[in-house]
Amino acid sequence: MEKYKVGVIGATGMVGQRFVTLLENHPWFQLTTVAASPRSAGKRYEEAVADRWAMDAPIPQEAKDLVLLSAQDDVAQIAAQVDFVFSAVDMKKDEIKALEEDYAKHECPVVSNNSAHRWTPDVPMVIPEINPEHIQVIKDQRARLGTKRGFIAVKSNCSIQSYVPALSPLREFGIEKVLVCTYQAISGAGKTFQRWPEMVDNLIPYIGGEEEKSEQEPLKVWGRVENGVIVNAEGVSITAQCLRVPVSNGHTAAAFVTFKNKPTMEQMKEAWASFKGRAQELALPTAPKQFLHYFEEPDRPQAKLDRDLEGGMAVSIGRLRPDSQYDYKFVSLSHNTLRGAAGGGVLLAELLCAEGYIVRATSAPLETA
């Protein structure tokens, strides 16, 4: 098949670097354009990231000689030469909102890792296995923006990827209350131990804005489409504590849950084992074959052992047991820069392509119901 031409804006940061590595040898997508801040514009990609490359894999050959454009100043040029962009820019929230809308209005679809548009009512915030139906609001968003091809779709915060996938198959039992504590890796702050030595042998019991996201974003993911916008789920109460821990990659969550109709532990494990989503039905290239993995061992999941399961796109669960205050408690883990960030973005883009919402710029846009 002819590959989609893809750009990454914010390509020099940690999530941008992850997008660049994931696009290497992708069966559907070809990286053709990279963009970053105006101060990086004009540099070769390899030169711009040479002293801050944070990935274990080397810089992909196809990216090394790409000349960086300005994500802010070269919108029209970038939009004209790609089929869509991934957004991982590091700017103020209002600036990001305006920039992503500018790309969309230039008829360039935007798949964003940023939080700026997560609460825009007609912007879908999608975990492809859980709420793929939310992408249908794109037609209403296009009507608001006055576009034919352009739109914005976002992925959720990295923290909720560690526990919302585990909770989602259990909603059939009527989830009422959730308490969750997240233990979040330093890469979630765009850091390595070399660049943040203060985190060695340390724990910081605060991550700005993270608890609000962890409590509220699941309600949009579990919400419904109504009159062209997404309406939050009701009847579920979530409270969260979020801590930064000295782990390079992998967000862990300790979750406590109470149900309206309390299941058995066997029913919960079966719900996890049998759960498949639209990403698996479509056999999308980045989708894990088994989305949720349950470990019976008492010391699993572990970040170092389990974060890379199924290419870092699966979610690991363990330590399910009854609780004295809630019905049950368990621990779950996801790779925060793969499933939780760039990998989740690539999977979302695959879903949007497969469902006809992203089409090649040379093709007529498809009408989607």
Q: According to the model, what pLDDT value does residue 71 have?
A: 97
Same domain flag for 50 and 197: no
Q: According to the model, what pLDDT value does residue 369 have?
A: 36
361 pLDDT tier (thresholds 50, 70, 90): confident
Does residue 39 surpass a pLDDT of 50?
yes
Please give the structure tokens belonging to residue 362. Answer: 């040379």
Q: According to the model, what pLDDT value does residue 367 have?
A: 40
Non-local CB neighbours of 4 within 8 Å, separated by 6+ positions: 28, 29, 30, 83, 84, 353, 358, 360
Of 117, 134, 158, 293, catalytic: 158
In a domain, 292, yes or no: yes
Q: According to the model, what pLDDT value does residue 291 have?
A: 98
Q: Which residues of 32-43 are buried (b: 16+ CB within 10 A; e: fewer)?
A: bbbbbbeebbeb
Mean pLDDT, to the nearest integer, of 216-227?
A: 98
In a domain, 153, yes or no: yes
In a domain, 364, yes or no: no
In a domain, 107, yes or no: yes
For the stretch 98-154, pLDDT in tens is 999 999 999 999 999 999 999 999 999 999 999 999 999 999 999 999 999 999 999
In a domain, 186, yes or no: yes
1 pLDDT tier (thresholds 50, 70, 90): confident
368 pLDDT tier (thresholds 50, 70, 90): very low
In a domain, 359, yes or no: no
Same domain flag for 237 and 248: yes
Same domain flag for 283 and 348: no
Does residue 57 surpass a pLDDT of 90?
yes
In a domain, 363, yes or no: no
Residue 357 phi/psi, 5-degree rounding, is -85, -30
Q: What percent of the chain has pLDDT over 90?
A: 97
Q: Would you call 26 exposed, middle or buried from its count of C-beta atoms within 10 A (0-12, 13-18, 19+)? A: middle
CATH of the domain at 143: 3.40.50.720
Does residue 364 surpass a pLDDT of 60?
no
Overall number of domains in the chain: 2
| Known catalytic membership, residue 251 | yes
Least confident of 189-193, 216-220, 281-285, 331-335: 189-193
Same domain flag for 12 and 98: yes
Terminal-to-terminal C-alpha distance of the chain: 25
Residue 303 phi/psi, 5-degree rounding, is -55, -50
Same domain flag for 182 and 152: no
Angle CA 123–179–260, to nearest 5: 90
Q: According to the model, what pLDDT value does residue 14 have?
A: 93
Range of the domain at 38: 4-157+342-354
Same domain flag for 123 and 266: no
**C-alpha distance from residue 153 to each of 93, 160, 233, 234, 300 (Å):** 16, 17, 19, 23, 34
Q: Contact 119/220 with Cβ under 8 angstroms?
A: yes
Same domain flag for 10 and 29: yes
Does residue 362 surpass a pLDDT of 90?
no
Same domain flag for 326 and 347: no
227 pLDDT tier (thresholds 50, 70, 90): very high
For the stretch 169-211, pLDDT in tens is 999 999 999 999 999 999 999 999 999 999 999 999 999 999 9
Q: What percent of the chain has pLDDT over 70?
A: 98
Does residue 318 surpass a pLDDT of 50?
yes
Please give the structure tokens belonging to residue 246. Answer: 């000295």
Same domain flag for 136 and 171: no
Same domain flag for 68 and 189: no
Q: According to the model, what pLDDT value does residue 258 have?
A: 98
Residue 131 phi/psi, 5-degree rounding, is -135, 50
What is the Cα 355 distance to its own chain's centre?
Answer: 18
CATH of the domain at 176: 3.30.360.10
Of 117, 134, 242, 251, catalytic: 251
Same domain flag for 181 and 304: yes
Same domain flag for 197 and 292: yes
In a domain, 212, yes or no: yes
For the stretch 287-303, pLDDT in tens is 999 999 999 999 999 99
For the stretch 332-354, pLDDT in tens is 999 999 999 999 999 999 999 99
Mean pLDDT, to the nearest integer, of 87-101?
A: 96
Least confident of 144-153, 232-241, 304-313, 355-364: 355-364
Provide the 10 A C-beta neighbour count for residue 264: 10
Choose among 51, 229, 252: nearest CA to 162.
Answer: 252
For the stretch 70-85, pLDDT in tens is 999 999 999 999 999 9
In whole angstroms, give the CA distance from residue 91 to residue 112: 13
Q: Which residues of 152-179 are buried (b: 16+ CB within 10 A; e: fewer)?
A: bbbbbbbbbbbbbbbbbbbeebebeebb
Does residue 264 surpass a pLDDT of 90?
yes
Does residue 363 surpass a pLDDT of 80?
no
Angle CA 338–341–346, to nearest 5: 75
